[in-house]
Amino acid sequence: MEEVKAWAEGIKNEIGRVILGKDEVIEKVLVALLCDGHVLLEDVPGVGKTILARALSAVLDGKFQRIQCTPDLLPSDILGVSAYVPAAKQFRFHPGPVFSQILLIDEINRATPRCQSALLEAMENASVTLEGKTMELPSPFFLIATENPLEFEGTFPLPEAQKDRFFITLSMGYPDRRSESDIMTGQNRLSHPVNDLKPVGSLEDLDSVKKKVSQVPVSRSMEDVILKIVHLSREDTRLETGASPRAARALYKGVQALAAVRGRMRTEAGDLEELIRPILLKRIKLRSESILNGVTESDVADSLLARAREGSSLS
């Protein structure tokens, strides 16, 4: 797994030139990429969510597109539209920004439910269906969406089906004092430092890296704990909706990828502890009375892991 670790370290180091002090967040984004998943970055404005997506595309040398969501955005603005060409006497399809390898959906909760639903097929199957035809998206197709969890005016909550399609939910958080000082002084220039990033890998390398990740063995005890977590969530009286089979698959693939990017050929209990919150955060739904009692999704995720590990050999 040293090759996977070297690949991940190279990307983290280059992105770390502009996203300071956030190596763990960058690592989790790479885990999602290796698992063919998508990322929801949920945090306040100005902490680097958009720059992280731009930096990743620059370092991986992938085709990058950005969609700024607004309430008047139309599905055709995302997927594309067929326009009549008089000279050719036929309709010609003009692909939308979804036909990219790394797609940034900025402030996804400002898009209407109609536009949000236009992304469901893309996120699940890496394809879109338009005018009765199914068209494949470029490979790989990696979506990063951002949203501000504190602002609700003019926003539309994400449907449960879409939240379940995000592999992981991450928060950038404010930088520490030293990093913020470097950010403040380092951007005293005409262009943003992200424009100076150089490719250290390519998306063509991704398939071989993914194959190595899939070879990381997962112990029987780890499998049992993951299954217990999702089944316990469906019986938990604090929850209105428990975790789906997609959540179990995400946890399984996630521990493989996290072990691989750290150069290990085996998964550890700590891998599951690190991923349980970000993977389950949007996949479980609290009952109203649980919210009133001060219960959070993170609290439930932690307790599910603790209960699932009772009597298990997973240390």
**255: which 2 tokens?**
């521990």
Model confidence at 29: pLDDT above 80: yes
With contact defined as beta carbons under 8 Å apart, do 25 and 172 qualify?
yes
**pLDDT tens digits, one per residue of 244-298:** 999 999 999 999 999 999 999 999 999 999 999 999 999 999 999 999 999 999 9
Model confidence at 174: pLDDT above 70: yes
Contact residues for 227 (Cβ-Cβ < 8 A; gap 6+): 248
Model confidence at 314: pLDDT above 80: no
Which is more confident, 131 or 112?
A: 112
pLDDT computed for residue 179 by the predictor? 85
Q: Enumerate domains of the chain plus CATH numbers.
A: 2-187 (3.40.50.300), 216-309 (1.10.8.80)
Q: What is the DSSP-derived secondary structure letter of residue 299? A: H
**pLDDT tens digits, one per residue of 45-89:** 888 888 999 999 999 888 899 999 999 999 999 999 888 888 887
pLDDT computed for residue 105 by the predictor? 94
CA-based nearest residue to 262, from 88, 63, 4, 33: 4
pLDDT computed for residue 315 by the predictor? 59
Beta bridge partners of 127: 136
| 302-309 CB contacts, 8 Å cutoff, 24+ apart | 302/276, 302/277, 304/229, 304/232, 304/233, 304/236, 304/276, 304/280, 305/225, 305/229, 305/272, 305/273, 305/276, 307/228, 307/232, 308/225, 308/226, 308/228, 308/229, 308/232, 309/225, 309/269
For the chain, give the mean pLDDT: 91
3-state secondary structure 131-188: CCEEEECCCCCEEEEEECCCCCCCCCCCCHHHHCCCCEEECCCCCCHHHHHHHHHHCC
pLDDT computed for residue 44 by the predictor? 85
pLDDT computed for residue 195 by the predictor? 86
How confident is residue 128, by pLDDT bands cut at 50, 70 and 90?
very high
Q: In what order do the strands lie in the sheet with 64-68?
A: 64-68, 102-106, 142-147, 39-42, 168-170
pLDDT computed for residue 48 by the predictor? 86
**pLDDT tens digits, one per residue of 184-213:** 887 777 777 888 888 887 777 888 899 999
Give percent above pLDDT 70 in the chain: 99
